[in-house]
A and B are shown apart, each in its own frame.
Chain A
């Protein structure tokens, strides 16, 4: 009888906790690359540089606050041509000033809020831009980000593409 009561109590408590945790939910922070806008691709043939920029919403669509503690950007690998290119990607929260070394300061993203982030990629080429664009017509940038919520640390990935063909000529 005692054991039955104990098991019933433990079972009810487990179910109650599970329901509470389910109802409470967690943060769900995502870089909404599909909603990215204000794309800019500038060609500077004299300097052999291409400057890419866009704004990406960073949204917490979960039911709890969460934190983004690290963000790293990495352009995709495009083969041997990469030896002749220097690519410097930087991502920052628009409300924060850009740190010269690109340091991402850990930030709390409150539930149901969206913050704009700015992604910049500077490409310096040792070859002329026409050859570069011919070989790499689209530049994919991978965004790895580490979030922390009630459930722990998660490493997530987003990707975004710049059309290098659609560049505006400068210089």
Chain B
């Protein structure tokens, strides 16, 4: 099936913004029946105020120890991000997940158990530098209740909605989607990250089943299959 991917430019979205109002201002004029509105995961988190400066985090003893065992390319290798995760999921749960994951790796050679056991936030958190400016100096958590957010979008705008965590490395993760969405198609489209990862300021993307070429000058349009 042919689809048209329309990336929408917005202002910088901050914790003071209401996501639904942002969608009303920047996406509603372009939305048509049958469209799917895809929102970037970090933007949902930012509007929920789920950002914190590392200077405001005091890493505890366990956060400092555990962060040392995370590969340095991972967000949790910083004691600040690890402390935030411990605060979010509970120190005991994080410690237990770490112990089980360490044993699974040593005895079974299996990787990734820590991220599975310590909660979804461990894989969604972005450490400093992980988000576009001006949030590049913040730790950005994953959004809270993403299923509720997409349901609210569908209720208000009458289109299918999804929250996606995509990056320029070709990895994308669908956090939540309304029932009418073709999840595998969406993941294929977002493998190329049409919203961009840097300064593009296009956190809203409309995916539309293509019929004929449109010519609105506003948003950035791409076609895909």
Contact = CB atoms under 8 A, between A and B. Distances in A.
Interface string A21-33: 1001000000000
A108 B129 contact: yes
A2 interface: no
Interface string B78-118: 11100000000000000000000000000000000000000
Contacts of B79: 150-152
Given A106-B136, A153-B54, A153-B55, A67 B129 contact: yes
Contacts, number: 43
A24 B73 CA distance: 14
Interface residues of A, number: 20
Contact of B133 (A105, A108, A152, A153): A105
A69 B72 contact: no
B80 A148 contact: yes
Contacts of B136: 69, 105-106
B168 to A, nearest CB: 14
Contact of A106 (B55, B67, B68, B129): B129
A7 interface: no
A10 interface: no
Interface of B: 54-55, 59, 65, 67-68, 72-73, 77-80, 128-129, 133-134, 136-137
B73 A65 contact: yes
Given A150-B68, A152-B59, 8 more contacts: A21-B68, A65-B73, A67-B128, A103-B134, A105-B133, A106-B128, A107-B129, A152-B80
A148 B128 contact: yes
A70 B68 contact: no
Contact of B128 (A21, A69, A111, A150): A69
